[in-house]
A and B are shown apart, each in its own frame.
Chain A
Amino acid sequence: MVSWLILLVIGLPWLGAAAAFFMREARPRALHTLAVAVSVVSAACAVALLPFATSEVALSLPVGGVFGDFTFIPDGMAIVLSIIATVIGSLAVIFSINYMEGEKQLGRYYALVLLFIGAMCGLVLSGSLLLMFFFWEITALCSYALISFDNDNPKAVEGGLKALIITQFGGVGLLAGALIAYGTLGTYQIPVFLAQAQTLAPALLSVMAFGFLAAAAAKSAQLPFHTWLPSAMEAPTPISALIHAATMVNAGVYLLARFYPAFEAVPGWTTAVVIVGALTALLAAIMAIVSNDLKEVLAYSTVSQLGYMVYGIGVGGVLAAQFHLLSHAVFKALLFLGAGAVIHALGTRDMRRMGGLGKEMPLVRAVFVVGALALAGIPPIFNGFWSKDMILEAGAEGGPTWAYIIMLAVAGLTALYCARMVWMVFYGERRSTAHVHDAPTAMRVALIPLAIGTVTTWLLIGPFGRLFGDTMPTHDLHLVNLGGMAAGAAAQLVIALPVIAIGLLAFWFRDRLSGVTRALGWLAALARADFGFELANRVVAGAARGAAGVVRETQTGQLNWNAVGILVGLALVLAVLALR
């Protein structure tokens, strides 16, 4: 039973992807129906996995030889992330019915979305490092192909390539780590590795730990690799919601959480994780404040919130980080889809051309405000507040003070950019003359469950923790129930709420603070320049192109020169043979 469910969760979307790719473009309705049906059934299968949660291998496909067994382990973390991927995947697909209406190449679109959903579930369910890397790369492939879905737009093509190259570059760290594990232990099985990690040579384990950190940072858009995510906003908005907010970007956080027990004792590793998380959260929040592109603000806020999760893992709060992952997936998908409804209606992403849209789009405004309140961490009924406070609590207990202070400050900055974003889009003066309409049916069907989820998922902390605790024996999780969470949150609330209030007040009194704004002008300029990270990308890309230009000169097409090549080769070989 459980093995069938696993096969269905992954296989069904993949079969759907193959079918969608070859379906006639002329019949979009059939395509929509197929994609919705497949993703919803897959989501049902993922939910049906819940009673079968186990720390044991539930499905093993012996491939043999150097490829080992392809195993699947549906433990708590795997099932929760599969549910997130399939449920939010289904909602994104439903949203797409309206959003992608009339678009060309709809078959390719749905094929890639479904391929992604299956791969994402495979990534979290797999119990073999090779298989995990396999799915890891497929998600990158889908992400790239969907960012540049509109291949006629050069910015989309560039954004897709950038995402592909940067995440693959970091992925080499995961590759090296997986190879180290196999080279020393002779197996890819993750439970075996977690149990025997301390038998590895310290240097190798250290390379592995930092390799995984690099891979996670690239995938989860953390410093210094975060630049691909803002560029990824060229993707259709349901894709931004699904892949670049709710699921794929969490894979890095998942990786760190999964292997935390093996790496926590590696000297400097947890500190490095904390530094990456805290700095990313801070810098991304600043960049979100100065951006005028609605999706870009959301992208930076995603980077910043992922920073919270990474920080949470660094300070030992694995459960808190995973709980925030759940909250964030729900409210950020809501925000992106809400933004999608606005962009679809208005035809622009520039917030300076929005304003006052609340009157015409009351439903979208309502759900967007719910999402923004959760993102800002406003108590008491929004899930983002609870999970963020859990992370802060873990930080106060187990992390360095400086990082805790940064994370507190980021909470204030988050409140500030949330207020600014909501105000610029839905309130104030109407700055566009375009006629807009509220979200059509399919969009509503996707938005409303997410809004309900945003105000309810925090109630699940008890069963959520038990599910993790029961099925993840190698992790030392600090389980809490609802009461415990409330008590911990109350303590944090005393500290965090004033900071959040300062953030909101700063926005409210923004006109009176113009002196401060001017004084911080240099910071805003730096933030708009992406703190120099984009420049670093360009330098690397430019260096590669430059090197290519130099090497091209050697391909002269002249036979004499080619013959020289043969002589040089011969001399090289003779030299090596003589010297050794």
Chain B
Amino acid sequence: MTYPTFIWLIGILLLASPVIYLVGRITRREDSTAPVARWLALAAVLGAWLPYLLALRDTNASMTVGAVALTMDGLGLLLAALSLALGTLVVVYSMRYMENEAGEEKYYSLLVAMIGVMIGLGTATDIFNLWLWFEAMAITSYVLVSFYRNKPLALEAGVKYLVQSAAGSMLILVGVALVLMQTGTLDIAEIRALAEPTPGFIVAGALFIIGFGVKAALVPLHTWLPDAYTQAPSGISAILSGVVTEAGLIAMLRALSALVAISASWGLLLMIFGALNMLVGNLLALRQTQVRRILAFSSLPHIGYMLIGLGIGISTGVANGLDGSMFHLLNHGLMKALAFLAAGTLLWVLHVAGTDHDELVTADLSGAGRRYPIVALAFSIAVLGLGGLPPLAGFMSKWQIFVSGFQTGDALIMATVVFAGLMSVLSLAYYAPLVNAIYRTVPSSVVAHGPTIPVLMQVPLALMALAVLVIGLWPSLLSWLAAPAAEALLAAFGG
């Protein structure tokens, strides 16, 4: 039997994970600084690129084992591209960031597994397997959030994250059971044909939205997010904010697409959550002084923009809404991961390397522009891009989402888009001061004594910053990824 190439993609990563752990563990028993785990991890993520590129030519490839079918469609490819790209950059970044940490092999093993699982999540075609992949993703991320296991705050963050995710997970499982009870099948396409607007299905739909919504950080289910994002090692923060949250969103869309016929309100619901996310997220970030907490809260409005676009696409069939959301999903992943990595670099060099685990606050940034020009520029590009300023990527994807709203010609939707525009302006009120702080000339006490930053950590930052700029100048560069994903969504929601 020949396997489709995407199976190799997932397989390489999932098989590499235990190998990384075992070999890393064994070599570290001999020599507590052995770098084997990180090199194996790098080899695994780099090795996964080949099957990924091959899988690109083979869209909608499918494999069935028993009752389980996996299909790599446009949406799956998009998620795979984002996971793999950020994963690779984070592995490179972590080589120096994590080199002195005990348990390095655990870190890489879980990171590689998480990337593989997220790619797998994108290929699920039945709701139970969707849940399984989703749980697997959650389990790898719990441990990584609490990676600093001697730090009470990290443990607290992990517990909150675990409890809330588990609650969501239970709701999903109940939803799956409800659907199975009424249709006798788990397959998304089959359910779509059988589902009817009865209370049983409606409750299942609500459970899916809330269950997956915890991971996708819908307001008011978002409360775990600031702690988890800020207590995790910076590389993990980047992955959590850049792709795990989005994977939750994609899982929610997959599950909802099975129940598309039972209600006309899915799009409306997504837009309501979108508006809530923008408003609450921006206000939460506005008066924060901890840099990583600002970035964490600012994920909420960005999920909000995506939800608005998705809601528009699903409720009116305007393709730009879906396309724009997928484009924004990629851009946000890139920009937010960059912001976390850059902030993480400063945190590492200013606090962690000096062996204190204080949080990085805005005042610490003073003078970093002169001391660490590349990191400062990368960070500035990331936050200004998140604020939606051109010529950076975030401007273009927001624009596409906004366009879709005006293409509907619906006054309420247009008003929502104008609201989103105003929220984007409000967000500058917390992004811009970060840039102001970083370009002060008087260095903060930590910057004044800060050591130099290894080149290897700066390389991913420079590449990502360049990408944010290039996409901002030439926005159709990523449409080969976003457009098929939007098409897959449009097909799933019967547009």
Nearest CB of chain A from residue B273's CB, rounded to whole Å: 8
How far, in angstroms, from A140 to B390 measured CA to CA in the complex?
Answer: 10
Q: Is the CB of A559 within 8 A of B476?
A: no
Among the stretches A39-47, A49-57, A60-68, A72-80, the one at the interface with B is A60-68
B168 nearest in chain A by CB position: A566
How far, in angstroms, from A560 to B179 measured CA to CA in the complex?
Answer: 29
In the complex, chain B residues 216-231 whose Cβ is within 8 Å of any chain A Cβ: 218, 220-224, 226-227
With an 8 A cutoff between CB atoms, is B428 at the interface?
yes
Partner of A549, one of B223, B287, B384: B287
With an 8 A cutoff between CB atoms, is B441 at the interface?
yes
Q: Is the CB of B210 within 8 A of A566?
A: yes
How far, in angstroms, from A138 to B409 measured CA to CA in the complex?
Answer: 29
How far, in angstroms, from A389 to B311 measured CA to CA in the complex?
Answer: 54
With an 8 A cutoff between CB atoms, is A516 at the interface?
no
Q: Is the CB of B439 within 8 A of A182?
A: no
How many chain B residues sit at the interface, stated as a range, is 35 or more
Q: Is the CB of B405 within 8 A of A179?
A: yes
**Which among A65, A134, A161, A569 has the highest number of chain B CB atoms within 10 Å?**
A569
Q: Is the CB of A580 within 8 A of B263?
A: yes
Partner of B441, one of A66, A151, A183, A578: A151
With an 8 A cutoff between CB atoms, is A199 at the interface?
no
Partner of B402, one of A175, A552, A572: A175
Q: Is the CB of B284 within 8 A of A566?
A: no
How far, in angstroms, from A306 to B206 measured CA to CA in the complex?
Answer: 55
Q: Is the CB of A105 within 8 A of B441?
A: yes
Q: Is the CB of B283 within 8 A of A576?
A: no
Given contacts A548-B284, A562-B223, A570-B171, contact A175 B421 (CB under 8 A): yes
A549 nearest in chain B by CB position: B287
Nearest CB of chain A from residue B320's CB, rounded to whole Å: 5
Query: Which chain B residues lie closer than 8 Å to A165 at the CB level?
Result: 425, 428-429
1/0 per residue, CB under 8 A from A, across B413-426: the answer is 01001100110011
In the complex, chain A residues 168-182 whose Cβ is within 8 Å of any chain B Cβ: 168-169, 171-172, 175-176, 179-180, 182
Q: Is the CB of B439 within 8 A of A580?
A: no
In the complex, chain A residues 529-572 whose Cβ is within 8 Å of any chain B Cβ: 544-545, 547-552, 554-557, 559, 561-563, 565-566, 568-570, 572
Partner of A179, one of B265, B269, B280, B402: B402
With an 8 A cutoff between CB atoms, is B467 at the interface?
no
With an 8 A cutoff between CB atoms, is B81 at the interface?
no
Q: Is the CB of B417 within 8 A of A563?
A: no
Partner of A552, one of B205, B287, B377, B403: B287
Partner of B425, one of A66, A172, A565: A172
Query: Which chain A residues lie closer than 8 Å to B54 at the CB level?
Result: none
With an 8 A cutoff between CB atoms, is B235 at the interface?
no
Given contacts A563-B167, A570-B171, A576-B265, contact A151 B272 (CB under 8 A): no
Query: Which chain A residues lie closer than 8 Å to B116 at the CB level?
Result: none
With an 8 A cutoff between CB atoms, is A152 at the interface?
yes
Partner of A577, one of B269, B396, B483: B269
Q: Is the CB of A160 within 8 A of B441?
A: no
With an 8 A cutoff between CB atoms, is A104 at the interface?
yes
How far, in angstroms, from A563 to B214 measured CA to CA in the complex?
Answer: 10
B483 nearest in chain A by CB position: A65
Partner of B407, one of A183, A545, A562: A183
Q: Is the CB of A67 within 8 A of B475?
A: yes
With an 8 A cutoff between CB atoms, is A392 at the interface?
no
Query: Which chain B residues lie closer than 8 Å to A64 at the CB level?
Result: 476, 479
With an 8 A cutoff between CB atoms, is B213 at the interface?
yes
With an 8 A cutoff between CB atoms, is B278 at the interface?
no
With an 8 A cutoff between CB atoms, is A137 at the interface?
yes
Q: Is the CB of B476 within 8 A of A576?
A: no
With an 8 A cutoff between CB atoms, is A500 at the interface?
no
With an 8 A cutoff between CB atoms, is A164 at the interface?
yes
Q: Which residues of B contact A (CB under 8 A)?
A: 159-160, 163-164, 167-168, 171, 202-203, 205-207, 209-210, 213-214, 218, 220-224, 226-227, 263-265, 268-269, 272, 280, 283-284, 286-287, 320, 323-324, 369-370, 373, 377, 384, 389-391, 395-396, 399-400, 402-403, 405-409, 414, 417-418, 421-422, 425-426, 428-429, 432-433, 435-437, 439-442, 474-476, 479, 483
Which 6 interchain pairs have the tightest Cβ spacing? A183-B406, A565-B220, A179-B406, A548-B286, A562-B223, A551-B283
CB pairs A–B below 8 angstroms (15 shown): A65-B323, A67-B399, A67-B400, A138-B390, A151-B436, A152-B441, A160-B436, A165-B425, A176-B421, A183-B406, A551-B280, A559-B164, A566-B168, A566-B221, A576-B269
Contacts A64-B476, A66-B403 supplied; 13 other A-B pairs, CB < 8 Å: A25-B370, A67-B475, A104-B441, A105-B370, A152-B441, A183-B406, A544-B426, A552-B283, A566-B171, A566-B210, A576-B265, A577-B202, A580-B263
Q: Which residues of A contact B (CB under 8 A)?
A: 21-22, 25, 63-67, 104-105, 108, 130, 134-135, 137-138, 140-141, 144-145, 148, 151-152, 157, 160-161, 164-165, 168-169, 171-172, 175-176, 179-180, 182-184, 544-545, 547-552, 554-557, 559, 561-563, 565-566, 568-570, 572-574, 576-578, 580
